[in-house]
Structure 1
């Protein structure tokens, strides 16, 4: 960006060498870009050294850098980085002397299975991955480009939240991101991977996206951490109990997938995108299959027992219907009395919503209703047909369900 702006001003500045020198130095300070101006090269070298040191810190901890994470997600050699030389503009608390290229986030675009996607990856070794104004604007830019071009956007989140040195400007940056999450909702697929501890504002954007994937024993989501809770409410809780992958997959329902490793999370993301179109104006992508579309499923009559009091696993029915018996379950560990997920029929993606007789006899409760309603809305937004398998005796009754709002939450499924 610095070189581009400098070139635009070349005609005017060539008549005034001193003005040209001052302009180059100003651009170097503002954007952190490389320059051959007097003193500017040294400043650029210092900024570059800080970025390299940040990557070295991650390597020492055995963790991948933001660019390594992106490379493991996208097709080989497809990533094109944007705004690499942007730096923060905060002048308080000595931040003017701590510029780092990229401002703690790597943004750009590439392909997954040949289909374009936009991506951003936060760098935890740069101020803890905290979000400042320039950091936020880089994320907003790729989100805008994703909506404009009609392509999915994927966030690799690893951030401690707002950058306190930038104060209100950092919070304004979050507001701009949240706004775009809302504008993109139902327009382009949004997928969030939680790859480290995320707190405060850093967890709200993922909660607004279509799918959230977490890594077991290394990623966390919470508004405030255990230390703050201990100081304010005197409750003792570990970060795993408060916001770990199992907590948000089994209890809160914030996350849809719990993956054993970052590599597994990347592979799951690539598979998940295969069920989604690039945007809400397209049909989901078909894939080749050797499974005949007119094949019979004679075993189905044996899977469903004639005794209505005898439970059975609805997943066996689903996999019998699916191409190549492949079923990708979503929200597997949350509200287990309801099963939702994706399969292919004759190569076309299909969403499945099914009661699970093995758990609570398949009865509907608050969590099952919310889980199914959210999934149905997602499929509806992206033109994914839905297969419904119904075996439900009733809605669960009880004082606690009524007090917690079973009527309004159950109505969400009716509305979806």
Structure 2
């Protein structure tokens, strides 16, 4: 065959593969406002940087070879804001992007290259699960022979988008990733509602099974919820901007936006004087960090605590902060799970941690005990001991009970400062007065007042500083500058900003 004929065949085969499931299926997706697999990669990668791997792969079943372009999964490499990234985008127009023997090889290749060469990995999920009848029988289901298929050692960041019906592998990798964003209308579950209905004989609603509310508010597997594919992919790109390409380098640095020092001047206006009054801690965080840099994760889950990536002086930090707006900031079981996952992320990828404290203790009661809150509190403290990145804590107002240690006191952080408004004790003084003296504030108000005064002794920030449990007492308006300076002092110079990663084998979800 002449050289020109060979090139014509190459072009024809390439065009057929690029056509995916055909014009009708692609038009149907467009009418629904959904991007196709290749458009999603175009949105993710810098223009012209995509290098595909496996364009000409097809199903290994003879009857499917002509109808499975790229075997339903588009894989390859590209640049995101100038940095190399590997990605796999499920093509729902080809057999529902179901997993089969050939496209699983592509997935394995992306994971292998990302791990060996130190580049982040992105999963753009939308699939029906395992391909039938390919996986039927012991010969098929037992042929993978890869005990490390779901091993995570966090050598590189993983990010996932749940962008449609995500069953099987799309659900596995969504739940395993360091960041998972879900589009409203998508569903993530082990199996489809149809299969569940067939197995149980009961009708199953997809949204109730694994919709965005389930995974953002109940399971906690999803970090952010968005309205469109475009927003989901943009969120993935933003997430990656805070992280290094691999675990053996420090996160990238960015220019400090103009005006980042302005908002902190008015931070005291956000904090009520009475500890019984609530406020939104997120507004305080925005005053402290570089302007526009706050990237909250799991905002709908464990809402008594805020976890967010941000920047201080252009450098990535992980923020853990109590939020009195919800349950007064009392730490519940979900908040413990949320913080543990965030510790794993920050310690695995060399991100220093800043803790902002205003909490009344743990949320006690039957519900918490049934959720195993006692074990989760201990997991948290164990995690803090294992974290090797710098940990800086600032007590804003109240900090009571064992949770004082969970939020950094008791030697659980590298530096601790108190605002002048801080109050630290085993419990709130008026509660302590009732427990110790048994005084009824309504029947004996003066006696109760005296009892509260006794219980309030030794609870000031200066009492904590006097025993050097706190290293400083600061003006709230100096918080940003103090944190920037202290993070520079605590920078991991001897390892070029790289920690020991003692938590990188911990599971993503608990």
The equivalent residue for 2:38 is: 67
2:48 corresponds to which of 69, 73, 77 = 77
Q: Give the CA deviation at 1:410.
A: 2.1
Aligned to 2:271: 304
Deviation by residue 1:334-380 (Cα, 9 ceiling, x = unmatched)? 11111101111100011100111010111111111000110111011
Structure 2: distance between partners of 1:119 and 1:277: 16
Aligned residue for 2:84, secondary structure, equals strand
**Structure 1 counterpart of 2:254, from 287, 308, 323:** 287
Q: Determine the C-alpha separation between the residues in 2 that align with 1:110 and 1:78.
A: 5
Give the one of 57, 74, 90 matched to 1:86: 57
Structure-2-length-normalised TM-score? 0.68
- Out of 153, 156, 160, the position equivalent to 2:128 is 160
Asked if the contact 1:182/1:208 (under 8 Å) is kept, the reply is no
Q: Secondary structure at the match of 2:335?
A: helix
Correspondence for 2:354 among 387, 390, 395: 387
Query: 1:353: which partner in 2?
Result: 320
1:387 is paired with a residue whose SS is: strand
> Is 1:277 aligned with 2:254?
no
Structure 2: how far apart are the matches of 1:140 and 1:204?
Answer: 14
Aligned counterpart, 1:190: 158
CA contact (8 A) 1:220 1:239 kept: yes
Deviation at residue 306 of structure 1 after TM alignment: 2.0
Pick the structure with greater CA Rg. Answer: 2
Correspondence for 1:262 = 229
1:104 aligns with 2:75: no
CA contact (8 A) 1:106 1:120 kept: yes
Deviation at 1:190, TM superposition (A): 0.2
Count of residue correspondences: 375
Match of 2:116 in 1: 148
1:243 aligns with 2:210: yes
More helix by share: 1
SS at match of 1:138: helix
Aligned position for 1:118: 86
* Contact residue 125 and residue 162 of structure 2 kept, 8 A: yes
Q: State the shift of 1:415 in Å.
A: 2.0
The structural deviation recorded for 1:161 is: 0.5
SS in 1 for 2:251: coil
Is 2:302–2:338's contact at 8 Å kept on the other side of the alignment?
A: yes
Closer, same or farther: CA 156–201 of 1 in aligned 2, 3 Å: closer
> Aligned partners of 1:195 and 1:175: how far apart in 2?
29
- The alpha-carbon deviation at position 66 of structure 1 amounts to 1.4
CA distance in 2, matches of 1:396, 1:169: 51
For normalisation by structure 1, the TM-score amounts to 0.83
Q: Which runs of 5+ in 1 are unaligned?
A: 1-20, 22-33
How far apart, in 1, do the equivalents of 2:144 and 2:330 lie? 39
Is the alpha carbon distance of 1:234 and 1:359 closer, same or farther for their aligned partners in structure 2, counting shifts above 3 Å?
A: farther
Contact 1:164 1:170 in 2 (8 A): no
Q: Contact between 2:160 and 2:236, CA under 8 Å: does it hold in 1? A: no
Gaps of 5+ in 2: 384-510
Deviation by residue 1:115-162 (Cα, 9 ceiling, x = unmatched): 110111111111110011110111111111111110100011111011
When residues 53 and 295 of structure 1 are mapped into structure 2, their CA distance, relative to the original with a 3 A threshold, is: closer
Work out whether residues 249 and 334 of structure 1, in 8 Å CA contact, stay in contact via their aligned partners in 2: yes
Assess if the C-alpha contact under 8 Å between 1:364 and 1:396 holds in 2. yes
Decide which of 148, 170, 182 is 1:202's aligned counterpart.
170
The question of whether the paired residues in 2 share the 8 Å contact of 1:162 and 1:171 is answered with: no
Q: What CA distance in whole angstroms lies between the structure 2 residues aligned with 1:235 and 1:336?
A: 33
Deviations 1:31-53 (A, max 9, x none): xxx996xxxx69x9689657636
Which digits, 9 at most, give the CA deviation of each residue in 1:159-195, with x for residues without a partner?
Answer: 101112221576468774x835524x42100001111
- Indicate which of 313, 321, 324 corresponds to 2:288: 321
Q: CA RMSD in A?
A: 2.8
Segment of structure 1 superposing worse, 130-139 or 166-175:
166-175
Contact 1:47 1:100 in 2 (8 A): no
Query: What SS does the corresponding residue of 2:328 show, helix, strand or coil?
Result: helix
Quote how far apart the aligned CAs of 1:205 are: 2.1
What is the alpha-carbon distance in structure 1 between the residues aligned to residue 285 and residue 50 of structure 2? Answer: 37
Q: 1:296 to 1:54 in 2, by over 3 A?
A: closer
Decide whether aligned partners of structure 1 residues 377 and 113 sit closer, same or farther in structure 2, where only a CA change above 3 A counts: same
User: Which residue is equivalent to 1:6?
Assistant: none
Check the 8 A contact 2:167/2:189 in 1, yes or no: yes
Distance across 2 between alignment mates of 1:116 and 1:122: 20
The question of whether the paired residues in 1 share the 8 Å contact of 2:263 and 2:287 is answered with no
How far apart are the structure 1 equivalents of 2:375 and 2:210?
27
- Residue 82 of structure 1: how far off its partner (Å): 1.1
Q: Distance in 1 between matches of 2:201 and 2:108?
A: 38
Q: Distance in 2 between matches of 1:82 and 1:410?
A: 45
